[in-house]
Amino acid sequence: METRDILKKNGFVFKKQYGQNFLTDTNLLTAIAEDAGVEKTSSALEIGAGAGALTRELSARAKKVIAFEIDRSLKPVLAETLAGCENTEVIFRDFMKCDLSTLEEELGPYHVAANLPYYITTPVLMRFVEEAKLCKSITVMVQEEVASRFVAKAGTADYGAVTAAIALRGEARITRKVPRTMFFPRPNVDSAVVHIAIEEGRIAVKSGHAYREVVRAAFSSRRKTLENNLMSAFRLPRERARELLLSAGIEAGVRGETLSPEKFAQIADALVADGILQ
Ligand code: SAM
């Protein structure tokens, strides 16, 4: 039976507030699972199982699948669409409220694959970028303009705190563009799939925490210079802020959005050496 018919039979009502735009095209779902590099030797984690279309693809490729779904009314639907997927568990909970380290103990090394609900795209991605320890890659369908921000290069209008935070863990690239016509109900925007392969130690930095603090400070006010943003975030005298930037080969007067992730790492290391950050 078609997914649409199973939803109808179970009296399912789409809830806009949960970003419920489902996929059904088998070729596209296969392609997303392939983009995610899901393999039999590791697990897969999905955020937002929906009617289970991507979950099934993951189940066929992974050792084990854990899928989160906030909407309990999808329980009877998923019982049908995931029948026979013995390696798959659906947790009916808000993913943002789960404890990631406990979940990682259960998963072991894992790949994230999801058609993310649009209203929590960035917070979900940031959880993995900042907290994940066993995550091997992240493959997410997001709105096209959000995808452009995730993959932006330094010095472009789309480059921001999220881009720089992602860059510490891996290189983000768009694997495919997906027109709005592929979803039902149809959203008002097109989407894209972003893949981030996690490469530990990709950018040498003493402390990931310090790096993130520097990035946060650099983008805290886009109108201010980097020097001014660092001064107010870390209570530095102007001379010290200027010295710090010069030692990293950065001219006074530049703005955060022009800096490469490597430069943020240099500033973070200098602040750690000064004992200002840990
Ligand atoms: N994976 C399915 C697909 O591709 O057809 C559904 C994707 S749909 C864009 C997003 C799904 O995430 C919805 O089923 C929605 O109910 C669920 N969702 C929304 N917020 C969530 C949250 N905080 N935690 C877990 N699931 C959530």
Number of domains in the chain: 2
Q: Which amino acid is at 58?
A: L
Residues 102 and 158 in one domain: yes
By most ligand atoms within 8 Å of CB, the mutation choice from 7, 14, 15, 22 for ligand 1 is: 22
Residue 51 is encoded by which pair of tokens?
Answer: 């009617």
163, 198, 233 - which closes a domain: 198
Q: pLDDT band at residue 106, thresholds of 50, 70 and 90?
A: very high
Q: Does residue 244 fall inside a structural domain?
A: yes
Residue pLDDT, tens place only, 133-157: 999 999 999 999 999 999 999 999 9
Residues 123 and 242 in one domain: no
pLDDT of residue 133: 96
Q: Does residue 249 fall inside a structural domain?
A: yes
- How far, in Å, is the centroid of ligand 1 from the Cα of 99? 18
CATH of the domain at 221: 1.10.8.100
Residues 24 and 111 in one domain: yes
Residues 90 and 36 in one domain: yes
Tell me: pLDDT of 116 over 90: yes
167, 198, 229 - which closes a domain: 198
Tell me: pLDDT of 124 over 90: yes
144, 167, 198 - which closes a domain: 198
Q: Does residue 203 fall inside a structural domain?
A: no
pLDDT of residue 41: 97
User: Distance between CA 241 and CA 271 in Å, rounded?
Assistant: 10
Average pLDDT along the chain: 96
Distance between start and end Cα atoms, the chain: 56
Tell me: pLDDT of 37 over 90: yes
Residues 128 and 214 in one domain: no
Tell me: pLDDT of 163 over 90: yes
Q: Does residue 242 fall inside a structural domain?
A: yes
Q: Does residue 85 fall inside a structural domain?
A: yes
The phi and psi torsions of 154 (rounded to 5 degrees) equal -55, 140
- How far, in Å, is the centroid of ligand 1 from the Cα of 232? 39
Residues 137 and 213 in one domain: no
pLDDT of residue 252: 79
**Sign for the pseudo-dihedral over CA of 271, 122, 77, 55:** negative
Contacts of 255 (CB under 8 A, 6+ apart): 222, 224, 225, 226
Instruction: Report the nearest atom of ligand 1 relative to the CA of 29.
Output: 4
By most ligand atoms within 8 Å of CB, the mutation choice from 20, 32, 193 for ligand 1 is: 20
- How far, in Å, is the centroid of ligand 1 from the Cα of 270? 41
Which residues approach ligand 1 with their CB closer than 6 A?
18-23, 47-51, 53-54, 68-71, 94-96, 115, 117, 120
Residues 118 and 245 in one domain: no
For atom 5 of ligand 1, which residue has the closest CA? 22
Mean pLDDT of 210-217: 97
Residues 150 and 27 in one domain: yes
Range(s) of the domain holding residue 246: 208-273
Residue pLDDT, tens place only, 61-87: 999 999 999 999 999 999 999 999 999
Residues 44 and 173 in one domain: yes
pLDDT of residue 1: 84
Q: Label the pairing between strands 88-91 and 64-68.
A: parallel
Residues 237 and 116 in one domain: no
pLDDT of residue 222: 86
- How far, in Å, is the centroid of ligand 1 from the Cα of 46? 9
**Sign for the pseudo-dihedral over CA of 246, 251, 254, 257:** negative
Q: Does residue 117 fall inside a structural domain?
A: yes
Helices (H), 156-206: 161-169
pTM value is 0.96
Tell me: pLDDT of 195 over 90: yes
- Report the helix count and the strand count for the chain, using DSSP H and E: 12, 9
Instruction: Report the nearest atom of ligand 1 relative to the CA of 68.
Output: 25
Residues 141 and 260 in one domain: no
Q: Does residue 231 fall inside a structural domain?
A: yes
Mean pLDDT of 190-212: 96
For atom 2 of ligand 1, which residue has the closest CA? 50
Residues 212 and 192 in one domain: no
